[in-house]
Amino acid sequence: MNGNYRMRQYMKEHLPLYLFVSVLFVMGVVFGALMVGALSPGQKQEMARHVNSFIQIVNQGESFGGKTTFWDSFSLHLKWVGLIWVLGLSVIGLPFIFLLDFLKGVLVGFSVGYLVGQLSWKGMLFAFVSIAPQNLIVIPALVMCSVAACAFSLYVIKNRFMQKRGALYPTFMRYTSLSLCMAALLFAVALFEAYLSPVMIKWVAPMLAVTGG
């Protein structure tokens, strides 16, 4: 009960940061989706070849996912969390945290935008099973990491440069603990991507075909 109260207080106190980071991410998604329209026909054809190759591999019954995919996925998530954590330790890291959030939005927006643009409702279905499920957890986790990093960085500024001295170590431990909790959550996401997502992709792959236009 006390933990829930503290969490509500934390969310309320940092609501402006949550809103700012969320808006940055949404702007990234929109920008990424718009980038699809800027691709040349040759670039679209090249991407279509890659997607078609993947779909053919799936339809031929070749296995993918598994242990290698798990470690690749988890290491990628861990790099995002670790980089945000490191950037939060320094004052100059703030703009780079915001840049990472925007970039994550661009990646998601571009991926979904390309699939929908090339495959219409089939692309929406493919994005729904291959991109959406894990990102429903990954994105909030990275947003929480980013807000915690920004909050800690701002606390350091107040503590060191504005003569508002406070205990730095407890705040640092709370910040680090939250980052570790998000890393543990993303460990579970990587398991999903490696062992459940391939099954879902195999269900929808037979109805997919990409034309490069």
Domain boundaries, the chain: 13-38+65-203
Whether the Cβ atoms of residue 143 and residue 101 lie closer than 8 Å to each other: yes
Query: Consecutive sets of 10 residues in the chain, 213 residues long: mean pLDDT of each?
Result: 68 89 96 90 84 78 79 96 95 92 96 87 86 94 96 85 69 94 96 91 76 53
Rg over alpha carbons for the chain, rounded to the nearest Å, is: 20
In degrees and rounded to multiples of 5, residue 78 shows phi and psi of: -65, -35
Q: What pLDDT is attached to residue 99?
A: 96
Q: What pLDDT is attached to residue 123?
A: 81
Q: What angle do CA 28, 23, 121 make, to 5 degrees?
A: 55
Q: What pLDDT is attached to residue 162?
A: 61
Q: What pLDDT is attached to residue 59?
A: 74
C-alpha 158 chain-centroid distance: 30
Q: What pLDDT is attached to residue 57?
A: 78
Dist CA 75 CA 124 (whole Å): 27
Q: What pLDDT is attached to residue 163?
A: 59
